[in-house]
Amino acid sequence: MPEYYHFTVKEEEAGLRLDKYLSQQGIGVTRSLAEKYIGQGCVTSNGKTLSKSFRVAAGEEVQAVIPDPQVLDVKPEAIPLHIVYEDNDLLVVNKPKGMVVHPAPGHYTGTLVNALLAYCGDTLSGINGVIRPGIVHRIDKDTSGLLIVAKNDEAHKGLAEQIKVHSFTRIYEAVVHGVLNQDSDTVDAPIGRSPADRKKMAVVPDGRQAVTHYRVLARYRGFTHVRLKLETGRTHQIRVHMAYIGHPVAGDPVYGPKKAVAGLQGQCLHARVIGFVHPRTGKYMEFTSPLPTYFTDFLKRLRP
């Protein structure tokens, strides 16, 4: 059955675009999915169908009808999964470098979703739409490390709300180009689509707020090993922010130097720690993933 929602716009939300407003209501709908539902006429106010660019006003009543998830036309594949934790509501998975999280053009097989469908069957959240069952957040293909998968819609909503209010703990480690002078600092710079290349993200004045905290772990000749804590979770956030301050992630083929780093296929970036409040028990849980071999081998090469 479709889910029906009724919202009253708060003073502090006035002026938001409708797609952004809907994505911030804690119902597990991403901005891109909100745009899709709005385009299908699923969001109204006073019986009037609204467009994605409509800006909400304080006190306005907004209704949304979220349709049932479509049947997923992606085949289960018996791909080994490194499961760090599992219960009836969620999984914590350690994703290897090189694995795509969800199907997309050019990657309809071999993804984490293909593996999850084989492992979990139909016990995955359907909130994020037809192609992303159970996926609460994602990490890039060539980023390794921890992510959470929701097994039901209630768990998905609870986890998505934590991401919305920035209470999710996400700590990464990376090797970046150059030697950072400060032992720790914060990059607070908005991120949006690059006006020069729509396939890339960039720091842009009208982007969404993005905050990354970093701390130096070790300095080497031409490189720095850093720990990074995300306060927000924008697309390619760490990669964009580190490139923005002149220290792109080593091996990053999109935001780094054109000359490849020998021995690295893709960025040297690992989702090391993930922490959250369990949506059913209310207990805080935190998991740590050891640095993978590609990462430790690169560090060994850098050491004198």
Instruction: Determine, yes or no, domain membership for 258.
Output: yes
Q: Is residue 251 part of a domain?
A: yes
234-249 average pLDDT score: 97
Tell me: do 73 and 147 sit in the same domain.
yes
Active-site residue set: 140
Would you say residue 30 has pLDDT above 80? no
Residue 49 forms part of a structural domain? yes
Asked if the model's pLDDT at residue 70 lies above 60, the reply is no
Q: Give the residue numbers spanning the domain of 99.
A: 69-162
Give the chain's domain count.
3
Q: Does a structural domain hold residue 140?
A: yes
pLDDT, position 129: 60
**Given a cut of 90, is residue 72 above it in pLDDT?**
no
pLDDT bucket at 219, cuts 50 / 70 / 90 = very high
Q: Is the pLDDT of residue 67 over 70?
A: yes
pLDDT band for 71, please (50, 70, 90 cuts): low
Q: What CATH number is associated with residue 177?
A: 3.30.2350.10
Worst-scoring range by mean pLDDT, 33-42, 64-73, 232-241? 64-73
DSSP string, the chain: --EEEEEE--GGGTT-BHHHHHHTSSSS--HHHHHHHHHTT-EEETTEE--TT-B--TT-EEEEEEPPPPPP----------EEEE-SSEEEEEEPTT--SS-BTTBSSSSHHHHHHHHHTT-S--TT-TT-TTBSS---TT-EEEEEEESSHHHHHHHHHHHHTT-SEEEEEEEEES--SSSEEEEE--EEE-SS-TTSEEE-TTSB--EEEEEEEEEETTEEEEEEEESS--TTHHHHHHHHTT-PBTT-TTTS-SSPPTT-SS--EEEEEEEEE-TTT--EEEEE-PPPHHHHHHHHHH--
Confidence of residue 123 (pLDDT cuts 50, 70, 90): confident
Of the three residues 45, 66, 87, the one that is the final residue of a domain is 66
* Predicted pLDDT at 93: 97
What value does the mean pLDDT take over residues 272-292?
97
Share of residues in the chain with pLDDT > 90 (%): 64
